[in-house]
């Protein structure tokens, strides 16, 4: 599956982060595995370890996200994954409307690995938490650097302000035949 270069929203450029890439590594009947790679991560701020569990407000710190919308639908799912090991999942009936917690049968597995200038962040999400294929999806990231500076990264942006719920962020289509 292809690697997507995420672009920082032009209204909020990063300080030191030079590149963010994201990719779907595999999708099988049990797990969806995702990977984000952040380069220039020397000033990257990671939330402290909190252990596995659901939590709200993860986007207020460094956080990695997946948005999924079934083909032809207006409703979508949002998944947030934190290097703290916390996660969140929500359903929306339409653009930012009808938000409710999405059922996830098992905690996702979030695995950050940090080097001197690179962060690799892997996620294994139970496939049962996903809507049936085909769907459109977006991979995104909120990056916090020292001093509380934040940048918002997506495959595509479609609004004057960062908005991962915008239709433009659902930039990639995955059909049933593409699943591993």
Are 156 and 7 a contacting pair, CB within 8 Å? yes
Query: In this predicted structure, what is the pLDDT of residue 171?
Result: 94
Query: What percent of the chain is helix, strand and coil (3-state, nearest 5)?
Result: 10, 50, 40
3-state SS class at 128: helix
d(CA 151, CA 142): 6
Residue-wise pLDDT for 40-89, tens only, equals 999 999 999 999 999 999 999 999 999 999 998 899 999 999 999 999 99
Are 38 and 115 a contacting pair, CB within 8 Å? no
Enumerate residues 6+ apart whose C-beta is below 8 A from 57. none
Residue-wise pLDDT for 104-128, tens only, equals 999 999 999 999 999 999 999 999 9
Locate the domains of the chain by residue range: 3-178
Give the mean pLDDT of the chain. Answer: 95
Query: In this predicted structure, what is the pLDDT of residue 167?
Result: 94
d(CA 28, CA 33): 9
Percent of the chain with pLDDT over 70: 98
Query: In this predicted structure, what is the pLDDT of residue 179?
Result: 53
How many C-beta atoms lie closer than 10 Å to residue 69's C-beta?
20
Residue-wise pLDDT for 16-48, tens only, equals 999 999 999 999 999 999 999 999 999 999 999
pTM of the full structure: 0.95
pLDDT value at 180 more than 70: no
CATH fold of 3-178 reads Immunoglobulin-like (2.60.40)
């Amino acid at each position: 599956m292809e690697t997507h270069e995420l672009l920082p929203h032009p209204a909020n450029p990063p300080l030191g982060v030079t590149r963010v890439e994201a990719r779907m590594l595999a999708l099988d009947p049990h797990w969806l595995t995702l990977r984000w790679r952040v380069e220039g991560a020397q000033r990257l701020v990671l939330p402290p370890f909190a252990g596995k569990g659901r939590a709200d407000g993860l986007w207020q710190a460094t956080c990695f996200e997946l948005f999924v919308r079934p083909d032809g639908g207006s409703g979508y799912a949002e998944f947030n994954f934190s290097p703290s090991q916390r996660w969140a999942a929500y359903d929306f009936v339409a653009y930012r409307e009808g938000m409710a917690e999405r059922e996830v049968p098992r905690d996702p597995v979030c695995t950050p690995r940090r080097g001197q200038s690179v962060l690799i962040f892997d996620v294994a999400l139970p496939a049962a938490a996903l809507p049936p294929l085909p769907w459109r999806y977006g991979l995104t990231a909120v990056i916090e650097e020292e001093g509380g500076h934040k940048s918002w990264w997506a495959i595509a942006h479609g609004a004057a302000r960062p908005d991962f719920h915008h239709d433009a962020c659902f930039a990639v289509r995955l059909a049933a035949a593409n699943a591993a």
